[in-house]
């Protein structure tokens, strides 16, 4: 119905979306669902949030196969240290996470990866925090959501004795934020000069001839154009990176 109604983009959403099917008897997995939706012909298909533990080879193959599945994946890291990941209840290691990143990039070299990271988890040492920074630098994320740990009632972590001071948590957060911004800026700069397909989201509140929308990599772009283009996909040449958004101009060239 959505495709027939002219919708340009669908996002499949779940707290751990790629765990779909694990509780079903029919042996259907998220990769099957993803392929089935892609074959409906929706111009753009996204999904969030995927858990590294359930991200299998079949998913990688499906994402690479279908052009309408956006090559932009949110892949939460949380921490770059195995001991902290274990305390968090994350069922993957840094090695397996980086192996997954390598497999994704082997199939899709230009894929955009974003992540979630928590600093100051109970009893996180400086060395363990440094491990997280090493992973962030190694992966080169196109963006990241960063958080300072705070106890959540009812979770195992809330019962842990935390010897990381609030001052230290903020210091680590600021260091992480600087490195994430460097990574975000470096990735955004690679898009400058390219022509990108942009789904027009809306117009500026101050100028209805200034449009904004998102590239396939989920990067926000501002450019001039008529308001009747809202809801359509247009070709935009990226002229400038402003780190968290891009500036461009609409062109008639085919998408490259």
DSSP secondary structure letters along the chain:
-TTTTT--EEEEE-TTGGGTTTT-TT---HHHHHHHHHTTT-SEEEEE---GGG--HHHHHHHHH-TTB-SEEE---B-S-HHHHHHHT----HHHHHHHHHHHHHH-TT-EEEEEEEE--TT--HHHHHHHHHHHHHHT-SEEEEEE----TTSGGGGS-----HHHHHHHHHHHHHHHHHHHHHHHHHHTT-EEEEEEEEE-SS-TTEEEEEETT--EEEEE--GGGTTSEEEEEEEEE-SSSEEEEEE-SPP-
The mean per-residue pLDDT over the stretch 7-32 comes to 84
pLDDT averaged over every residue in the chain: 93
Q: What is the pLDDT of residues 36-80, one digit of tens each?
A: 999 999 999 999 988 898 899 999 999 999 999 999 999 999 999
pLDDT at 220 over 90: yes
What is residue 200's predicted lDDT score, i.e. its pLDDT? Answer: 96
What is residue 25's predicted lDDT score, i.e. its pLDDT? Answer: 65
């Amino acid at each position: 119905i959505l495709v027939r109604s002219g919708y340009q983009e669908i996002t499949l959403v779940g707290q751990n979306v790629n765990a779909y099917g694990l509780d079903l008897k029919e042996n259907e997995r998220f990769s099957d669902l993803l392929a089935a939706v892609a074959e409906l012909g929706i111009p753009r298909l996204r999904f969030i949030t995927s858990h590294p533990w359930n991200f299998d080879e079949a998913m990688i193959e499906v994402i690479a196969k279908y052009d309408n599945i956006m090559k932009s994946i949110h892949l939460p890291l949380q921490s770059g240290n195995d001991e902290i990941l274990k305390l968090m209840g994350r069922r993957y290691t840094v090695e397996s996470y980086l192996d997954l990143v390598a497999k994704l990039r082997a199939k899709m070299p230009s894929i955009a990866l974003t992540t979630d990271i928590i600093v100051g988890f109970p009893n996180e040492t400086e060395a363990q925090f440094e491990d997280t920074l090493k992973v962030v630098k190694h992966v080169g994320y196109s963006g990241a959501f960063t958080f300072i740990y705070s106890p959540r009632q009812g979770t195992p972590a809330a019962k842990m004795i935390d010897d990381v001071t609030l001052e230290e948590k903020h210091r680590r957060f600021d260091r992480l934020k600087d490195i994430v911004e460097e990574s975000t800026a470096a990735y955004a700069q690679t898009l400058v000069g390219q022509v990108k397909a942009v789904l027009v989201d809306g117009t500026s509140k101050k100028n209805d001839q200034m449009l904004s929308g998102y590239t396939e990599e989920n990067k926000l772009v501002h450019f001039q154009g008529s308001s009747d283009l809202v809801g359509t996909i247009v070709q935009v040449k990226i002229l400038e990176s402003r780190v968290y958004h891009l500036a461009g101009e609409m062109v008639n060239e085919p998408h490259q």
